[in-house]
Amino acid sequence: MALLMRLIRQPIIIGYILTGVIVGPIALHLLKSTSTIDAFSNFGIALLLFIIGLGLKPVVIKEVGKVAALAGLIQVAIISGVGWLAGHYLGLGYRQSVFLGVALSFSSTIIILKLLSDKKELPRLYSKITISILIVQDVIAAIALLFVASQGHNSAISLSDLSWLALKGLAATAALFIVGTKILPKLQNFIAGSQETLFLFAIGWGFGCAALFQGIGFSLEVGALMGGIALASLPYTQEISSRLRPLRDFFIVLFFISLGSLITFGSIGSDLRLIIVSLIIVVILKPLIVLVTMGFMGYTKQTSFKTAISLGQISEFSLVLFLLGRSSGILSTSLVNSITVIAIVSIAISTYLINYSDQIYRYLERYLSVFEKRVTHPDRNSGRYSYELILFGYKKGGMEFIKLFQELDKKFVVIDYDPESIDTLEHQKINCIYGDATDIELLNEVNIEKVKLVVSTISDFDTNVFLIKLIEKINPKSIVIVHAESITKAKELYELGASYVVIPHYIGHEHIGSFIKKSDLKKAEFTKFHDKHMEYIKKHYAASEEVTDAAPAA
């Protein structure tokens, strides 16, 4: 199904859900052990939310907390009320209508974050606001589930129960952040000194936080997200994220397959009006409420629109809520099937809306001005982390290049695999990332296809070959400076497309730095420079190194 979706250029999540429909009871009925699938799905959910949390520093939550709280609470309140009225009008009982309204008010944390992550738009302002609104909704959902669970035990929930839940949540959150900000920074060299240790620590911490919050009455989504946020200020979060993503992608597929397998068509005919009205509320009215609220608070029409359009589906919490309602005897199986159909259809529609939000916005832009004030909050983070210069490796002459980059007054980042180097750079307040130069995920994060200059002080030949080939393929205009330990290796790197190869005994870092300043970061200037270097190599080292006359790549 994934191959088919790629062939017809449709979102791959649709393929996952359709796979669930095919292997579910409607078609092949291959899913016998749903508990196993659910367990694996939870692994994927926890990893997804944990990785998202790693990119959300606490200052981000503070930055967008006000709009998230206001927009989240207003949206939940209005949609719950409208959903209740719609259910009552369509013939549902009082309690059934309440369930419907509350279920329609929640949006899917998993779907939204997966799609935003795939689009690589998590650094955007609208993504931060969306995630914060989802946190607000998740807290409300935890309280709603507590109410429903108490109905199942024939005991009314009290104020003391809510107070106890809030106290446990605050205590768990405080403990995570104390450990994450006070204890773990002192152990970072020990933890990050071994890739295996770092990987195991990340899995243990992420799953442990998810289990902790689920155990005290919240969802595992909230726990995993909080666990990631608690580590977000540490230098090795990028490395953790890139290592965990393949694991996340494997397990999260099972969540979507499980979701698709829930769908049945037995009662759709009798509940068709309910399904259509609910979809209108979720896909149109819910985003409209967020759009109006954010516009009133002074956000740009683009930020407001993209936040709003991201929330146009119902949550996995809604399904859990209805299942609990059925087990409590409040809801019928027919209603549970209907909410499942509403969930899957709204998720499918939302997938298209989020994936094509830029095109939809351009089409509707002139009509959206009514939702925008004259004075607005700008989106300072308009995409991925963006740098003009990247330095790989610090210890072997990296400081000279850092001084040069600072003099050029260009935005740069240092990427190093040594936790001690990262620790040194952090103390010097130099922008740095702990990671591997051959990590594709990491290179995507730093937007390497837009970089003007890449310098590698790494002496490993294979690593430099990888970097040159990758940059030559995706960013041929970029200048690439690498190091070589011998004339022969330098010759090979030139032939692959290196702009300049530093050979320690031929030229010092201060000389190449001087040339970088004069070149104004124009690759044509480097072409002349490395031609001279090749002539020097042929003249002085041909006899001993057997250098051929092949021309270097331009």
d(CA 538, CA 512): 20
Q: How many domains does the chain have?
A: 2
Looking at the fold, whether 173 and 254 belong to one and the same domain comes out as yes
> Does 341 reside within a domain?
yes
- With a CB cutoff of 8 Å and minimum separation 6, the contacts of 93 are none
Beta strands in 163-277 (DSSP E): none
d(CA 516, CA 300): 40
Q: Which of 317, 344, 371 is the last residue of a domain?
A: 371
> How far apart (Å, rounded) are the C-alpha atoms in residues 49 and 227?
9
CATH code: domain of residue 220: 1.20.1530.20
Gyration radius of the chain's alpha carbons: 27
Final residue before a domain boundary, out of 371, 406, 437: 371
pLDDT for 140: 82
**DSSP-assigned letter for residue 299:** B
> Do 177 and 323 fall into the same domain?
yes
Distance from C-alpha of 291 to C-alpha of 372, rounded to nearest angstrom:
9
Q: Look at residue 393 and tell me if it is in a domain.
A: yes
Question: Looking at 310, 339, 371, which one is the last position of a domain?
Answer: 371
CB 106 within 8 A of CB 318: yes
User: Do 310 and 411 sit in the same domain of this protein?
Assistant: no
Do residues 416 and 393 touch, judged by C-beta distance below 8 A? Answer: yes
Which residues face 464 on adjacent strands? none
Residues in the chain: 554
46-72 tens-digit pLDDT:
888 888 788 766 666 666 778 888 998
CA distance 548 to 491: 9
Q: Which residues of the chain have pLDDT under 50?
A: 152-154, 380-383, 508, 510, 543-554
Is residue 381 in a domain? no
Is the C-alpha dihedral spanning 134, 136, 140, 143 positive or negative? positive
What is the pTM for the complete model shown? Answer: 0.64
Tell me how far apart the alpha carbons of residues 482 and 201 are, in angstroms, rounded to a whole number: 33
Judgement on whether residues 282 and 413 belong to the same structural domain of the protein? no
- CATH classification of the domain holding 503: 3.40.50.720
**Do residues 350 and 420 share a domain?**
no
Contact between 159 and 149 (Cβ < 8 Å) = no
Q: Are residues 84 and 198 in the same domain?
A: yes
Structural domain span for residue 427: 389-545
Q: Mark whether 295 and 403 lie in a shared domain.
A: no
| Whole-number pLDDT of residue 93 | 87
Q: Please tell me the predicted confidence (pLDDT) of residue 284.
A: 94
- The string of pLDDT tens digits covering residues 385-414 is 678 899 998 877 788 888 888 888 888 999
Residues 434 and 303 in one domain: no
List the 389-392 sheet strands across, edge first: 432-434, 412-416, 389-392, 453-456, 479-483, 500-502
Residues 86 and 176 in one domain: yes
Which residue from 31, 91, 113, 97 is spatially nearest to 339, judged by alpha carbons? 97
The two three-digit tokens of residue 554, written as one number: 């331009």
- Other beta carbons less than 10 A from residue 275's beta carbon: 18
User: Do 407 and 338 sit in the same domain of this protein?
Assistant: no
User: With b meaning 16 or more CB within 10 Å and e meaning fewer, what string describes 200-227?
Assistant: ebbbebbbebbbbbbebbbbbbbbbbbb
Question: Does residue 6 lie in a domain region?
Answer: no
Could you tell me if 260 and 341 lie in one domain?
yes
CB 111 within 8 A of CB 351: yes
Q: Decide if 41 is inside a domain.
A: yes
Contact in structure between 86 and 277 (CB atoms under 8 Å): yes
Beta bridge partners of 502: 483
Q: What is the DSSP letter of 313?
A: S
